[in-house]
């Protein structure tokens, strides 16, 4: 199964796409790739923190801040439900 949704993006390309989005010079295709990668990283972060003993529901704002807000990106609606 060669599905693009599950391919892993390397860090060099990921950082380049983040810089392009900050400068607002990103194509639609690359924007969708970046959005998918941000969502994957957000879900991965939540799953890691849910397994710890001290999470108590705090994993959502922690991961939201780490993935989206520190980069000053707008948070997509219902991103928590997509995980």
Asked if residue 66 is part of any domain, the answer here is yes
Asked if residue 21 is part of any domain, the answer here is no
Asked if residue 8 is part of any domain, the answer here is no
Is residue 60 over pLDDT 60? yes
> How large is the angle between the packed helices 11-22 and 28-50, nearest 10 degrees?
120
Q: What is the pLDDT of residue 1?
A: 38
Under 8 Å between Cβ of 34 and 17: yes
Asked if residue 6 is part of any domain, the answer here is no
CB atoms within 10 A of CB 12: 8
Ordered alpha helix ranges (H), 10-74:
11-22, 28-50, 59-67
Asked if residue 34 is part of any domain, the answer here is yes
Please compute the mean of the pLDDT values over residues 6-30 and round it to a whole number. Answer: 88
Return mean pLDDT, the chain: 85
Give the number of domains in the chain. Answer: 1
Q: What is the pLDDT of residue 5?
A: 52
Q: Which domain holds residue 38?
A: 26-83
**Percent of the chain beyond pLDDT 70?**
89
């Amino acid at each position: 199964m060669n599905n693009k949704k599950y391919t892993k993006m390397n860090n060099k390309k990921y950082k380049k796409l983040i810089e392009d989005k900050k400068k607002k010079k990103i194509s639609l295709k690359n924007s969708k790739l970046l959005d998918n990668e941000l969502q994957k990283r957000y879900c991965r972060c939540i799953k890691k923190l849910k397994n710890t003993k001290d999470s108590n529901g705090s994993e959502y704002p922690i991961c939201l801040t780490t993935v989206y807000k520190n980069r000053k990106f707008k948070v997509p609606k219902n991103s928590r439900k997509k995980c």
